[in-house]
Amino acid sequence: MLISLGGIALVCALLLAVVNALTEKKIAKVQADKTAAAIAQVVPAFDGSPVDTVVLVDAQEYLVHKAMAGDSIVGYAIETATAGFGGPINMMVGFSASGEIYSTAVVSHSETPGLGAKITDGESHFRTQFEHKNPADGYNLSVTKDGGDVDAITASTITSRAFTLAVAKAYDVYLSVAGAQPAPEFFEPQDGEGGSDD
């Protein structure tokens, strides 16, 4: 009894070890590719591979990918997560060097299909409304129902709030990473464009 069950378990364990060894690298590569694709989607074109740093904001760790072109930083891709309607929403939020939201990408989510799941549609108004907005210019990152500037998805306010919160969190992270660099426009919101070459 012991021998047969033990034998079966042993053979199965060996088999799993072999398959794991064969697929381990490939699985890691698939995940790395996914992250790389999300980064490329949310920041302006960059050279080489992004520089990763871990940032602590409000006692939470965030992974920040700095995209470089030559020696200057062209953008930041920041990984954030918030609680959505059906589970966590994991996102990659991209900022250009001046603090403008460049683009966003949803890495994983479990929102309602047909309703909240519309956050995955990169062409939708909900997603494109964030692009090229700079919270430093007074763009209020909360949904219109809460007095902000973000139009929520119809019938998906909770999801829209969570998405917007994730972008706002990412902006806080951006400020703590890049806070020192894009100086004056933060203090003179009316100044509009320019400003990065002070």
Q: To the nearest whole angstrom, how small is the minimum distance from the Cβ of residue 176 to another protein?
A: 31
* Amino acid identity, position 39: I
The residue from 49, 53, 60, 108 that contacts another protein (CB under 8 A) is 108
17 binds another protein (CB under 8 A): no
Pure H helices in the chain:
2-42, 125-128, 157-178
Say how far apart CA 189 and CA 48 lie, in whole Å: 34
The residue from 32, 34, 52, 192 that contacts another protein (CB under 8 A) is 34
15 binds another protein (CB under 8 A): yes
Q: To the nearest whole angstrom, how small is the minimum distance from the Cβ of residue 25 to another protein?
A: 9
- Binders of another protein among residues 127 to 146 (CB under 8 A) are none
Cβ count near 132 (within 10 Å): 12
Q: Is the dihedral of CA 165, 166, 171, 173 positive or negative?
A: positive
32 binds another protein (CB under 8 A): no
Closest CA to 132 of 183, 175, 168, 95: 95
16 binds another protein (CB under 8 A): yes
Stretch that binds another protein, among 17-25, 49-57, 96-104, 156-164 (CB under 8 A): 17-25
Count residues contacting another protein (CB under 8 A)? 20
Binding mask 57-96 for another protein (x = CB under 8 A): ----------------------------------------
Long-range contacts of 179-184 (CB under 8 A, 24+ apart): 181/73, 181/97, 182/97, 182/98, 182/99, 182/136
Calculate the alpha carbon distances from 98 to 58, 64, 164, 185 in Å.
Answer: 23, 16, 20, 9
Ramachandran class of 48: left when φ > 0, alpha when ψ lies in -120 to 50, beta otherwise: left
Cβ contacts of 72 within 8 Å, gap of 6 or more: 97
The residue from 27, 56, 83, 183 that contacts another protein (CB under 8 A) is 27
112 binds another protein (CB under 8 A): yes
Q: To the nearest whole angstrom, how small is the minimum distance from the Cβ of residue 30 to another protein?
A: 5
Q: Which residues of this protein are in contact with another protein, per CB under 8 A?
A: 1, 4-5, 8-9, 12, 15-16, 19-20, 23, 26-27, 30, 34, 108, 112-115
